[in-house]
Amino acid sequence: MNSRERVLTALHHEQPDRIPRNFWAESPTWNRFFEYVGHRDRNRVLDDLDIDIRILEPGTPPEKKLENGLFRNFWGEQYLYRETGWGLMREDVAGALAEVKDFEEIVHFDWASPNDFDYSGLSEQCQRWNDRALLYGFADIWQRPSLVRSLQNMFVDMYERPEWSHFLSRKFTDFYKEDYSRAMEATGGRIDLFLLISDLGSQKGPLISKKMFQNFVAPYIREMCDHIHSLGAKVLYHSCGNIQPFISGLIECGIDILDPLQPVSGMEPEKLKTEFGNRLCFHGGIDMQHLLPQGTTEEVRTEVKKYCDILGNGGGYILAPAHLFQPDVPPENIIAVYNAT
């Protein structure tokens, strides 16, 4: 099998020739890894690790530098950069709408448009990675609005000003539906997976109630899933934390693949495979908090084999870390992830 065939076979709940692999990492992690391997060619790294998925990237508007060391992106998210020893990492702060008290200020904010994106390079990226499965996007219909508004305000809005929350999620949903349509058109229908993000869990459990989920989040996830499926692709849905109580609802909304399977209580691979494995595929799971930064290469290989044996039995699993590789992960452990199978 080539990489694309391998991924699509697994996503059809059939056993591929080996477990398919994905890779994503923070920029400082890339810098540390480049120093280890002695070159700065990302595609060469991915080829050497035999990664089956490639991520397509459009041109996006540059960030703006504000006062006091703050930066703002095209959505209005605001953040600082912190030094890691291998480069700068983003640290989010209250967004552009955090202090707004008047709904009209939200309505008339300088909202981003897909017209601000440049899709012209996507076709060439597809040709370069013709035999790979292709992933596009960064759609977020609840968490990113909460970063612009601030999470605390978003919680209050859902209770006291529900129309504010719905306006924000509608704004982001409409943007990303159009963005994904344009990307699929620009690639001639070649995209296999679209990413959909909204973090709904903490280490201990959900951030919101099931009622709040059904009212403020699920309708927009369902709409995005329906749209992605209408484009002929599958939905890779990302949420950190323990979201076990939401998984059945997410399946009903139409998600195809769940990421990142953060290894907290309630998200064990055996439990996930038994309860949801016939209705859902899985992506990730390799512990980013303890195992990857602190474990030995043998411990990493053992855990990877466990996840592949459990979640990959009969297809339905893509090997990846339980979040982007962080800069405190030794390069040897990154390599061990992909040398274990």
Predicted structure pTM score: 0.97
- Structural tokens at position 269: 């691979």
pLDDT bucket at 341, cuts 50 / 70 / 90: confident
The confidence score (pLDDT) of residue 266 equals: 86
Positive or negative CA dihedral for 282, 288, 289, 295? positive
Confidence check: pLDDT of 86 > 90: yes
- Structural tokens at position 282: 């899985």
Over residues 220-228, the mean pLDDT reads: 98
pLDDT tens, 259-312? 999 999 889 999 999 999 999 999 999 999 999 999 999 999 999 999 999 999
Over residues 312-321, the mean pLDDT reads: 98
Element (H, E) at 335: helix 331-339
Count the neighbouring beta carbons within 10 Å of the beta carbon of residue 91.
9
Positive or negative CA dihedral for 21, 117, 235, 190? negative
pLDDT tens, 151-206? 999 999 999 999 999 999 999 999 999 999 999 999 999 999 999 999 999 999 99
Distance CA(139)–CA(143), nearest Å, equals 10
DSSP 221-240: HHHHHHHHHHTT-EEEEE--
Share of the chain above pLDDT 70, in %: 100
Confidence check: pLDDT of 3 > 90: yes
Contact indicator for 301, 336 with CB cutoff of 8 Å: yes
Alpha-carbon distance values, 101 to 66, 109, 166, 167, 285 (Å): 22, 13, 16, 15, 40
Any idea what DSSP says for residue 69? G
pLDDT tens, 17-27? 999 999 999 99
The confidence score (pLDDT) of residue 63 equals: 97
Positive or negative CA dihedral for 64, 67, 71, 74? negative
On average, the pLDDT of the chain sits at 97
The confidence score (pLDDT) of residue 281 equals: 98
pLDDT tens, 61-71? 999 999 889 99
- Structural tokens at position 303: 């855990």
Confidence check: pLDDT of 254 > 90: yes
Which CATH number describes the domain made up of 3-67+97-339?
A: 3.20.20.210
